[in-house]
Amino acid sequence: MSEKKKAVLFDLDGTLWNSAEEVLLCWNRVLAPMGRHITRSELDRLMGLTPREIGDAQFSDLPPAERYALTDRCLTSEDPYLYARGARLYPNVRETLLQLKACYFIGLVSNCTESYALAFLHAHGLTALFDDHETAGRTGLGKGDNIRLLMTRNQIEKAVYIGDTAKDLSAAQEANIPFLYASWGFGDLGDVQPIVDAFSELAESVSTVLEG
């Protein structure tokens, strides 16, 4: 366990990387034999949702058992592809994580499956830069609960959560920690402050929140 008591916690999709094109390819390989198809705009609205929320949103015409089974098939199809190939990291992710890790505990908290998070960490050689991670796929909990779980497990005294959607903001509020809005992601949070416009600006913004 890290001895650092201040933490920088990250959302994944829309914050650290954009895997939309890769996920779209994988999903449509599953859906095509069924005469189904998902578009990029439909996929974008699913980013950040839990697996069950995805099923309810995308396959609402199916009975619950069938919609969740199909969601699981689509999500599972992503893992080997992303594990081997990765996706598009946002600019300066690796450099900024290295800079932050010198001073802070670095964590990942996402509504994705556990294997999806591991694919991200493996494909881009980032495993060593994250001190811990938690996912809805592993715990079955919401993001706010998973933030609290990770903080308690690692005895974190102060943290900031960085994300790009309204659900990320709500999760930070539920966990009673500050939020930094990553404006480059999938969400549109309007006048939410504080806002960060590029990953390279994070170190300064984090310092203001955690050291101010």
Whether residues 124 and 35 fall in one domain: no
pLDDT tens per residue across span 83-106: 999 999 999 999 999 999 999 999
What pLDDT is stored for residue 3 in this prediction?
59
Do 98 and 157 lie in one domain? The reply is: yes
Predicted pLDDT of residue 190: 80
> Which CATH number is 114's domain given?
3.40.50.1000
In a domain? residue 11: yes
For residue 67, give its domain range. Answer: 20-85
Mean pLDDT of the region 178-201: 90
Are residues 150 and 140 located together in one domain of the fold?
A: yes
Task: Among 85, 113, 134, give the residue marking a domain's end.
Answer: 85
Same domain, 24 and 112: no
Indicate whether 60 belongs to any domain: yes
Q: Indicate if 73 and 165 belong to the same structural domain.
A: no
The reply to whether 128 falls in a domain is yes
* 1 in any annotated domain: no
- Copy the structure tokens of residue 123: 């494909």
- Answer yes or no: do 132 and 187 share one domain: yes
Whether 162 shows a pLDDT value over 60: the answer reads: yes
Contacts 24+ apart (CB under 8 A), 23-31: 23/78, 23/82, 23/87, 25/81, 26/74, 26/77, 26/78, 26/81, 27/74, 27/77, 27/78, 29/77, 30/70, 30/73, 30/74, 30/77, 31/74
> Where does the pLDDT of residue 60 fall: very low under 50, low under 70, confident under 90, or very high at 90 and above?
very high
- Rounded to whole angstroms, the Cα distance separating 78 from 25 reads 9
Q: Find all residues with CB under 8 Å of 64, minimum gap 6, and list them.
A: 55
Give the pLDDT confidence score for residue 71 in this predicted structure.
96
* Residue 2, pLDDT above cutoff 70: no
80 and 169 in a single domain? The answer is no
Q: Is the pLDDT higher at 151 or at 186? A: 151
Asked whether residue 80 falls in the same domain as residue 111, the answer is no
The overall pTM is greater than 0.85: yes
